[in-house]
Amino acid sequence: MFSTMIQAHKADLWMVLVISVVVIRIQARSNEGGTIFLERGHPGILSCPLVTSGRILLDQIDAMYWYSPVLRDEDILISYFLGNVAPQNGIPEGVYDINGNFSLVIENVTDSDEGTYYCRVKPRMRMMVDEQVTMRVKVSPKEPFPDVTQCTERISGTTCEAALLNDIKKPMLTCIVRDTKPAVALRWLLEYCDGDTQLISDRFTVQPSKYRV
């Protein structure tokens, strides 16, 4: 769960706010540190940087080995050798696979899969080469939008209404995204009648919650 709170200055009247709320789902991607995010409970694919970068061409690969969490024989997950793919170290069939791009396929991503993976490639007429990739498990929000706890009426799928009393010194709105991993960043924006938008922190106080799961 990740939440942010917004405080407005004291108002002279009742404030009825129509709030449009949208969440952008986290996609499986690499960040600057080379980390790949895979969705928990779904199949996931880890590409070998040696192949994706073009340093080793697909038709040059004689053998491929995927390891985790350490690059040693007892930690081989699955292997490819001259067209044959086979799980290693007693791992049952169907847990891992190697696809046509020599990427590691994790058939059902769980929290225990999070960690460092190594691909070891044997190109034709060359020495073996190693590379690593870090994988983290992510959980996308189940709801299509964050929840504004002060909303009392849902107008549409992404719009709700919140009424704030004028006798509250600092009216507050709290926006929460539940059951996400990693915690998502939330931004408040103010939309004007002409369609222009403004980051709301320029006019109000926005305070990220300290509670992150």
Question: 38-66 in b/e burial notation, b at 16+ Cβ within 10 A?
Answer: bbbeeebebbbebbeeeebeeeebeebbb
> Considering the chain, what is the average pLDDT of its residues?
83
Q: Quick one: pLDDT band at residue 13, thresholds 50, 70, 90? A: very low
| Structure confidence at residue 23 (pLDDT) | 46
Q: Is 164 exposed, middle or buried (0-12, 13-18, 19+ CB in 10 A)?
A: middle
| Structure confidence at residue 84 (pLDDT) | 95
The answer, yes or no, to whether residue 114 has pLDDT greater than 60, is: yes
**Using one digit for the tens of pLDDT, what is the confidence trace for 95-106?**
999 999 999 999
The terminus-to-terminus CA distance of the chain in angstroms comes to 5
| Structure confidence at residue 8 (pLDDT) | 47
pTM metric for this prediction: 0.71
The answer, yes or no, to whether residue 143 has pLDDT greater than 80, is: no
| Most confident stretch, 64-68, 189-193, 203-207 | 64-68
Closest by CA to 129, choosing from 118, 137, 142, 140, is: 118
SS3 140: coil
Domain positions in the chain are 2-26+140-208, 35-138
| Structure confidence at residue 190 (pLDDT) | 84
| Phi, psi angle pair for 41, to nearest 5° | 85, 5
Do the beta carbons of residue 1 and residue 174 sit within 8 Å? no
Q: Which CA distances in Å does 162 have to 10, 91, 115, 137, 166? A: 16, 54, 43, 35, 13
CATH architecture of the domain with residue range 35-138: Sandwich (2.60)
- Residue type, position 113, single letter: D
